[in-house]
Amino acid sequence: MWTPISKFILKYRYILITVILCVTTFMGYHSKDLQLAYAGSKVLPLDDPSYVEYNEFKAKFGEDGAVLVIGLNDKRIWQKDVFNDWSKLSNDIKAIKGIQEVLSVGRIYELKKDTTERKFVLNKVISAPATSQAEVDSLKQKIEGLKFYDGLLFNTKNGSTLMAITFDRQILNSKYRGKIVNKINDLAQTFSEKNKVELHYSGLPWVRSKLSDKIAKEFVLFLVLALATTGLVLAIFFKQFHAVFFPLLVVINGVVWALGIIALFGYQISLLLGIIPALIVIIGIPNSVLLLNKYHNEFRKTGDKMHSLEVAIQKIGPTALLANVSAAIGFGVFSFTNSAILEEFGHIASINIIATYICSIILVPIIFSFLPAPSAKHTKHLDSKKLTAFLQKIDYLVFHHRKAIYISSAVIVLIALYGVTKMHANGYVVDDLPKKDPIYKDLKFFEKNFDGVLPLEVSIDTKKKNGVMNASFIKRIDKFQEMVSAYPEISRALSLDEVLKMATQGFYNGNPSQYRLPNTMEQAFILSYAGKSAGKGSGDMLKAFLNKDKSETRVSFQMADIGSEKMNVLLKELEVRTDSIFPKEKFNVVFTGSSRIFVKGTDYLVENLKESLLLAIGLISIIIFILFRSLRMNGIALIPNIISLIFTAGIMGYVGINLKPSTILIFSVAFGLANDQTIYFLTKYRQELENPANSISKAISLALSETGVSMIYAAGILFFGFGIFAASNFEGTMWLGILVSITLLVALLSNLILVPALLLSLEQRINRKKVAKPLIQMDMDLVDEDDNNKV
């Protein structure tokens, strides 16, 4: 099969290179349509009950994560000039197109009773800049008397205050959001520098915009680092310009295809898709390394350039194909998670790993067919004395110290398994950011001063038309929100009850002592006022808290980023306690909001990615079984790579790295890549058994000496390639790089030491006739057999 393929590639090289260039041009043209992901990660399936409830909530009451907050804790805010500048900043931000409303102590509203029209009028407290400090002091007293805002816009206990900026829903998850955020930042920074006041920023619009900026920067950073790292490895290995430049050119071609495919699929660049270009470079380069090594090896034997390129395609083509299929499976299993963000990642990674392989197997031989033949200097890398000596030591260890190998492996596994018991599934909204990052530090500011800014919403359905307006139900809400707000991680509520308390205070001319629920006699009167209240941008006061038939209401909280593990416990406790206030037979209470969706998403991914890992193991096991047609060989192939995964999981347990969406990826990805080394070794071992003169022991030694070099170089490229992700600003991506690198290193050592030892131990049980002919002929030689010392 591969003989005609190799002849076809070299015979029709002009046509093939033209076709690839046309495809690359097409993909490059479409890559201009790439966009960053502006909405939150689409983690849960569309039909997940929690996600359905969340979308139903937004349809009734509007977006829950549309508020950007700017906070400060500085007494100078109440100085005349600073206060006026804060008020001006609030109004300037409100004037930005795409901003729906801005509330702050410098732009705040109060309810005024209009006895003529029998309604409330929403008036600005501040209509013009203050002209004296006495006026500001009077305003401060008046503002702090508006109890509705205490804990929302200001905190009288610690003196902190914030500005709440509500985005228009149409702008919130679009590319324009970033531009608006930048305008807000520029205006706020001008205020900060002028008045020497430290400001803190948070809220989902801010966090998502800043994360998008970081993703865009790392998108470029990792691509550059991947090219630089792999280029350096190639230069050290080959010491030839052509052998560095053109393999890099081939993987850059693969990157262009990947970007074009992302655009054609209509995907947006998320945190995961942002690392695809670097992955293509890292995983694609070994294809070129194997081809060039085989080409150099054959040329040194025959001196015939075209024949050597044909042999390189014939021998490396099937081997590299199987290796790339294994890697693609490691990524492709994410396509079965029913999570949009992981499905996109799985689709793009698996498709482009195979696409880059096809480009490599075609372009590398074609390009080098036009270049001068390699000189003796360029093939010198094949004589690696240090690696040969290293592999000979491993050979000695395998043949003379198998017992020690097994004992050491068992001890390592037991220690690692204990570490595994220390692992926890726990994710935070911003825990992928380092603790020193401004986003993280500012989030902690709001948690300290306002109990957090992450939305937690509760919808309460009375199952009756106008049921919300019942006096006893309103009292239940008050009891409920007091119960929830008593938790230190959760802020005070914003609800129908709080609006009614505000209305009661307004009805009694702003008297702070009247911030309370109306009594039975007052309720109908005040509700009629509130229902007809109007003011610029206000509309019906109660509209934001009621559905159309007034059978359902919302209660909004803000909460701290306490992690999915603690959040699950908290929500379960709240749901149990809520049943005592709103019995299930009469009311339907749903906890939702961005915070709840994040927790559900984390739980969903952890559970489904466990299944993905099992699926990857199953699929790769099938490939190995088809290749070797032996359950025993299948077991030998899986053991070293499963040990490497256990080792990595143990490290995570000891170090305290939680299982979460960004870290659970490690296992499927690493398993898919690590199995390449096993396949390389066992394939060569099977080939050596074809020779009747070779005993099983000799076949093992030959496989070690001849394939070990390729395994080391392939693993080395992947090790240093994934190591670049340690430079990420996102801890999840950083640990992905570090832990995948560690897993691949452990897998390499396991495959070089443990697999040969297991084969030797089973020597007497192996039926030579059953393993004499591999299903697919492959060749992983990196060195000339005549130059290699046989054991």
pLDDT at 532: 60
Arithmetic mean of pLDDT, 192-205: 92
Residue 19 tokens read as: 């076709």
In terms of Cα–Cα distance, which of 109, 89, 67 is closest to 535? 109
Checking phi first, is residue 486 left (phi over 0); if not, alpha (psi -120 to 50) or beta? alpha
Which tens digits make up the pLDDT trace of 703-734? 888 788 778 888 888 898 888 988 888 877 88
Residue 313: other Cβ atoms inside 10 A: 25
Of 559, 592, 625, the residue that ends a domain is 592
Same domain? For 276 and 371 the reply is: yes
In terms of Cα–Cα distance, which of 566, 731, 567 is closest to 662? 731
| Contact call for residues 785 and 697 (beta carbons, < 8 A) | no
Tell me if 47 is assigned to some domain.
no
How far is 261 from 259, CA to CA, in rounded Å? 5
Of 186, 202, 218, the residue that ends a domain is 202
Same domain? For 573 and 682 the reply is: no
Tell me if 376 is assigned to some domain.
yes
Residue 586 tokens read as: 């009469």
Q: Which domain holds residue 588?
A: 439-592
Same domain? For 123 and 215 the reply is: no
Same domain? For 408 and 331 the reply is: yes
pLDDT at 541: 59
How far is 399 from 397, CA to CA, in rounded Å? 6
Same domain? For 362 and 466 the reply is: no
**Residue 195's pLDDT band (boundaries 50, 70, 90)?**
very high
pLDDT at 772: 43
Query: Scanning the structure block, which residue is given the tokens 């030579």?
Result: 768
Tell me if 626 is assigned to some domain.
yes
Tell me if 228 is assigned to some domain.
yes
CATH no. for residue 372? 1.20.1640.10
Residue 68 tokens read as: 């950007």
pLDDT exceeds cutoff 60 at 774:
no
Which tens digits make up the pLDDT trace of 67-100? 899 999 999 999 999 999 999 999 999 999 999 9
Same domain? For 153 and 194 the reply is: yes
Residues forming a β-bridge with 36: 269
Tell me if 434 is assigned to some domain.
no
Domains contained in the chain, number: 3
Same domain? For 297 and 373 the reply is: yes
pLDDT exceeds cutoff 90 at 183:
yes
Of 566, 592, 618, the residue that ends a domain is 592
- The 8-class DSSP code of residue 118 comes to T
Same domain? For 576 and 687 the reply is: no
Tell me if 54 is assigned to some domain.
no
Angle between helices 496-507 and 520-531 (to 10 degrees): 100
- Alpha-carbon dihedral angle through residues 532, 533, 538, 544, given to the nearest 10 degrees: -60
Same domain? For 279 and 380 the reply is: yes
How far is 731 from 501, CA to CA, in rounded Å? 45
Tell me if 59 is assigned to some domain.
no
How far is 515 from 447, CA to CA, in rounded Å? 26
pLDDT at 134: 95
How far is 216 from 553, CA to CA, in rounded Å? 40
| Contact call for residues 660 and 425 (beta carbons, < 8 A) | yes
Same domain? For 583 and 672 the reply is: no
Which tens digits make up the pLDDT trace of 341-365? 888 889 999 999 999 999 999 999 9
Range in 186-195, 227-236, 303-312, 679-688 with the lowest mean pLDDT: 679-688
Tell me if 49 is assigned to some domain.
no
Same domain? For 217 and 198 the reply is: no
**Residue 160's pLDDT band (boundaries 50, 70, 90)?**
very high
Same domain? For 671 and 727 the reply is: yes
Name which residue leads in pLDDT, 413 or 378: 413
